[in-house]
Amino acid sequence: MDDEDFRQALAEVKRFVRSEVLPREAEIDEKDEIPEALRKQAAEMGLFGFAIPEEFGGLGLTMQQEEALVVELSYAAPAFRSMLGTNNGLAGQILVMAGSDEQKQYWLPRIASGEVIASFGLTEPDAGSDPSSLKTTARIDGDEFVLDGTKRWITNAPAAHLVMIFARVMNGDTDEGISVFAVPTDTPGFEVGPKDHKMGQAGSLTSEIYLTGVRIPASTRVGGDQGYRIAMSSVARGRLSVASICVGMMRRLLDESTEFAIGRRQGGSRIADYQLVQAMLAESATELYAAESMLSRAAKAFDDGTMQRTEPSMVKYYASEAVGRVADRAVQIHGGMGYMRGVAVERLYRDARLFRIYEGTSQIQQLIIGRGVVRAAEKAN
């Protein structure tokens, strides 16, 4: 998409999010679901396929365009962006990166249109940030695979038509490594558990998946025996997306804080005129600027092919930690109102906590960054 077309599309997404999604945030939080009308509008705007190549019916955005779009989508309740996220991100990109021509032609146009909701099935009860320890197996049986195992906290699983399942391939007693399989959810033996009840992010549906003797043809295997590499590549891109979400939420939190401080009077003066309130606004504005700058640089490096291994971790780590601090200050600026249900910053405070956990915890990001610093120093010497 050229720059002018993208500017127009971005302006329309901004209008849609602020005029259509924001007024329904309380409903999303209360009912723990995205209204069908919003889902249909998003599909009509092509938002289920903004990161899918144009040849498969998507918008084919660059990473720089994608992060700008996700920032605008994330000004509203993060559950709305989450509804679109796995189609464009972790699940859809597996097929874009490693799918066969047949797999791409069959799945990607329907993923891009929103006809098919795709999920990313990596996390397990004992395997989260480290996929090398996953226990789900794919046993070779002639020209088929038989899947057994459990996946946990799988986003959009209750609504999914397709799940990209990561499993350890077993040929008899021989472990042949990790592969990923495109598994339709109506396959016999595939069961989706009840939706999880989470601290925040209501409307973003997650649940466990149980695989019991799920028999699938060999043609569902994506990328051969490169499952671990595919998982790491998908997660790296996903970390930039998480950083984009955090930036969008930080913008919203700062706007809510500033507007409240201007409108709220205490002791005859606006609290926006008190220096300690201004100090909190200054800290939040500075952290937002830093996160925006890091994200912009990383997205450009992604598009240029110069992105270093540690960059997605650094951007995700900083942005996800910063949004928590900005959310905390927003509640503090609102005072007692900030602790009340139905007030935007109270909900966003709960929503923000998850970003330090998923797509690799902050501690995992620190390990990746730290090891990268050491390796770079050793290489330089």
As annotated, the active-site residues are 359
Q: Say if CB 228 and CB 252 are below 8 A apart.
A: no
Q: Cα 316–322–326 angle (5° rounding)?
A: 145
Helix (H, G, I), strand (E, B) or coil at 137: strand
Distances (CA, A) of 156 to 147, 185, 320, 327: 20, 12, 21, 25
Measured distance CA(100)–CA(221) in Å, rounded: 9
DSSP readout, 181-202?
EEEETTSTTEEEEEEP--SS-T
Sign for the pseudo-dihedral over CA of 243, 248, 254, 260: negative
The residue assigned the tokens 């989470």 is: 198
Distances (CA, A) of 33 to 69, 165, 185, 270, 355: 22, 24, 20, 37, 20
Q: Say if CB 160 and CB 118 are below 8 A apart.
A: yes
